[in-house]
Amino acid sequence: YVELFVNFKLKVREAESLGLDTTDSFKNELAGYRKQLAQPYLTDTLVDDNLLKEAYERMKIEINASHILINLSETALPKDTLIAYQKAIKLRERILKGENFGEIAKSNSDDPSAKDNEGNLGYFTALQMVYPFESAAYGTDVEGVSLPVRTRFGYHLIKVHHKRPARGQILVAHIMVENGKVDASSEDSVSVRAKIEEIYKKLKGGEDFAMLAQQYSDDKGSARRGGELPIFGTGRMVPEFENAAFELKKDGDISEIVQTRFGMHIIKRLEKKEMVSFDDMKGELKAKISKDSRSQLSRTALINKIKKENNFKESLKARDKMASVIDSTYFAGEWKAEKAKKLKKSLWSIGDQKFTQQDFAEFLEVNQAKRPAIPAEVLINSMYANFVETNVIAYEESRLEQKYPEFKALMQEYRDGILLFELTDRMVWSKAVSDTVGLEAFYEKNKNNFMWGERIDVTIYSSANEKIAQQAGSLVSQSKPTEEISKAINKDSQLNLKIESGKFSKGENEIADGIEWKPGITKNIKKDQRVVFVHVHEKLKAQPKSLKEARGLVTAEYQTTLEKQWIESLKAKYPVVINKEILQLIN
Domain boundaries, the chain: 61-165, 169-273, 310-398, 454-541
Tens digit of each residue's pLDDT, the chain (587 residues): 889 999 999 999 999 999 999 999 999 999 999 999 999 899 888 888 999 999 999 999 999 999 999 999 988 888 999 999 999 999 999 999 999 999 999 999 999 999 999 999 999 999 999 999 999 999 999 999 999 999 999 999 999 999 999 999 999 999 999 974 445 555 667 888 889 999 999 999 999 999 999 999 999 999 999 999 999 999 889 999 999 999 999 999 999 999 999 999 999 999 999 999 999 999 999 999 988 889 889 889 999 999 999 999 999 999 999 999 999 999 999 999 999 999 999 999 999 999 999 999 999 999 999 999 999 999 999 999 999 999 999 999 999 999 999 999 999 999 999 999 999 999 999 999 999 999 999 999 999 999 999 999 999 999 999 999 999 999 999 999 999 999 999 998 999 999 999 999 999 999 999 999 999 999 999 998 899 999 999 999 999 999 999 999 999 999 999 999 999 999 999 998 888 888 888 76
pTM of the model: 0.67
**Closest Cα to residue 13, out of 416, 412, 431?**
416
CA distance 267 to 240: 11
Q: Examine domains 61-165 and 169-273 and report if their fold is the same.
A: yes
How many C-beta atoms lie closer than 10 Å to residue 379's C-beta? Answer: 20
Backbone angles phi, psi at 367, to 5 degrees: -105, 20
C-alpha–C-alpha distance, residues 60 and 125, integer Å: 8
* Coil/strand/helix, residue 165: strand
What CA–CA distance (Å, rounded) separates 395 from 389? Answer: 10
CB 95 within 8 A of CB 101: yes
Question: Would you give the distance in Å from CA 185 to the centre of its chain?
Answer: 50
- Nearest-5° angle of CA 509, CA 514, CA 517? 90
Cβ-proximal residues to 267 (8 Å cutoff; 6+ apart), any chain: 172, 173, 174, 241, 244, 245, 248, 254, 255, 258
Rounded distance, CA 428 to CA 424, Å?
5
Identify the CATH class of 61-165: alpha beta
Predicted pLDDT at 47: 87
Architecture of the domain defined by 169-273? Roll (3.10)
The pLDDT value recorded for residue 180 is 46
Give the pLDDT confidence score for residue 181 in this predicted structure: 47
Q: Where are the alpha helices (DSSP H) in 121-277?
A: 131-138, 187-204, 209-216, 220-223, 239-247
Q: Is 37 exposed, middle or buried (0-12, 13-18, 19+ CB in 10 A)?
A: middle
Distances (CA, A) of 80 to 76, 77, 88, 179, 572: 6, 5, 13, 45, 78
Sequence-ordered strand ranges (E) for 225-303: 258-260, 263-273
Q: What is the pLDDT of residue 313?
A: 97
E-assigned strand segments in 107-168: 120-124, 149-151, 154-165
Distance of CA 75 to the CA centre of its chain: 33
Residues 58, 234, 296, 382, CA torsion sign: negative
Q: What is the pLDDT of residue 333?
A: 95
Nearest CA to 422 out of 112, 113, 21, 32 is that of 21
Nearest to 314 by CA among 387, 394, 364: 387
Q: Partners of 522 in the beta sheet?
A: none
- Per the CB < 8 A criterion, the answer to whether 112 and 130 are in contact is no
H helix or E strand, kind and range, residue 177: strand 169-178
User: Buried (b) or exposed (e) across 556-569, using 16+ Cβ within 10 A?
Assistant: ebbbebbbeebeee
| Of residues 115, 131, 109, 107, the one with CA closest to residue 54 | 131
Q: Find out whether 64 and 122 touch, Cβ atoms under 8 Å.
A: yes
